[in-house]
Amino acid sequence: MKITVLSGGVGGARFTRGLLSLVGERAEVTVIANTGDDMWLHGVRVCPDLDTLMYTLGGAVHEEQGWGRLDESRRTSDDLAAYGLGWEWFTLGDLDLATHLARTALLRDGLPLSQVTARLAERWAPGVTLLPMTDDEVETHVITADGRDLHFEEWWVRHRAGLPAARFEQTNLATATPAPGVLAAIADADVVVVPPSNPVVSVGTILAIPGVRDALRTTAAPVVGISPVIGGAPVRGMADACLTAIGVETSAVAVARHYGRRPDGVLDAWLVDDRDADAADALRSEGWLAGSANTLMTDVATTARIAADALALVGRLP
């Protein structure tokens, strides 16, 4: 059985860890990761979502933080700040930095990001095939209400998504193509899962890569999503600020309708939290496959049950 996941960082990584715990050897899991948050920082290539996936699935993540490595120091980052250069608010942990340096060396050698990612993942054995959404340098920028243009990470990390956003724009989107394996992973899947990642700047960015949305609309596999909104608030992060910017209400039902139901949209089924059981009712009345369950990913076992509920909704429990 083949399962393909479209993932952002922390939420998608934790969901996938639960999914792996559920399916064990009974499924091959491919993760298509958002790379819109990537950036060149101090001359090295930083890929926040790929690294969060790699570390989380490889057992090396800083669990409380959700990203970065266990037992990192800020020595290099602090010393870099002493030069008064660059993004002093963005900490490069000293172990994380080794990943960035390894990646940068391989990219400078001419390898595409997909091959670089495979090479780095060898060390962490994440138990999935980890694919960047594209090998092209697509980066999400935030155009603020007062007209500023910021890299997404600057808006997200430095300003804590506190500057009202007018819209999100991705660089190089017109000429970007899906990374090798991305379209096939969607077309050949037995089920596609959209975890509770940010629907705008994580999953939304993956969907924006030319060809990906069509692949989802046309795959023979069912596509099931888990709501990243519980009781009118994002489970984690500041997804509400992103939803507001694109005119979508922060509610389980509004996010489902934003993704849309196939064939016009990209989903067949939507799992909401028990607190939003009325949203599932509303969606069912519109023809969706919809269900409710406890969807708070408090630990790996709970998350495995959430994955089981999602797969069961489309009849694909392995």
Alpha-carbon distance values, 256 to 118, 223, 259 (Å): 32, 12, 5
Pick the stretch among 105-113, 133-141, 239-247, 304-312 that binds its own copies (CB under 8 A): 105-113
Length of the chain: 318
26 or 123, CB closer to its own copies? 123
Query: x/- string (CB under 8 A) for its own copies, residues 228-267?
Result: ----------------------------------------
Among 5, 47, 120, 314, indicate the residue that binds its own copies (CB under 8 A): 120
Nearest CA-CA partner of 146 in 133, 135, 159, 137: 159
| Residue 164 CB neighbour total at 10 angstroms | 12
Tokens representing 26?
Answer: 């009974």
Residue 86 interacts with its own copies (CB under 8 A)?
yes
Query: What DSSP element (H or E) covers 97?
Result: helix 94-108
From 116-124, 186-194, 205-213, 276-284, give the range in contact with its own copies by CB under 8 A: 116-124
- Binding status of residue 43 toward its own copies by CB under 8 A: yes
CB of 120 to its own copies, least distance (A): 7
Q: Does 105 bind its own copies (CB under 8 A)?
A: yes
Q: Comparing C-alpha atoms, which of 78, 198, 215 is closest to residue 142?
A: 198
In the list 21, 104, 129, 177, the residue contacting its own copies (rule: CB under 8 A) is 104
Cβ-based neighbour number of residue 305 at 10 Å: 16
d(CA 95, CA 91) in angstroms, rounded, equals 11
CA 60 to chain centroid, in Å, comes to: 18
Q: Find the binder of its own copies among 1, 101, 150, 184 (CB under 8 A).
A: 101
Tokens of 252: 């389980």
- Residue 123 makes contact with its own copies by CB under 8 A: yes
Question: Does residue 69 come out as left (phi exceeding 0), alpha (psi in the -120 to 50 range) or beta?
Answer: beta
Q: How far is the CB of 64 from its own copies (least distance, A)?
A: 20
Which residue bears the tokens 């888990």?
226
The tokens for 272 are: 């909401």
Least distance (Å) between residue 318 CB and its own copies: 33
Site membership for its own copies, residue 306 (CB under 8 A)? no
Going by DSSP bridges, is the β-strand pair 191-194/2-7 parallel, antiparallel, or unpaired? Answer: parallel
Taking CB under 8 A as the rule, does residue 110 contact its own copies?
A: no
Q: Which stretch binds its own copies (CB under 8 A): 2-10, 69-77, 182-190, 283-291?
A: 69-77
The residue ranges that bind its own copies (CB under 8 A) are 40-45, 73, 75-77, 79-80, 82-86, 92, 94-95, 97-99, 101-108, 119-120, 123
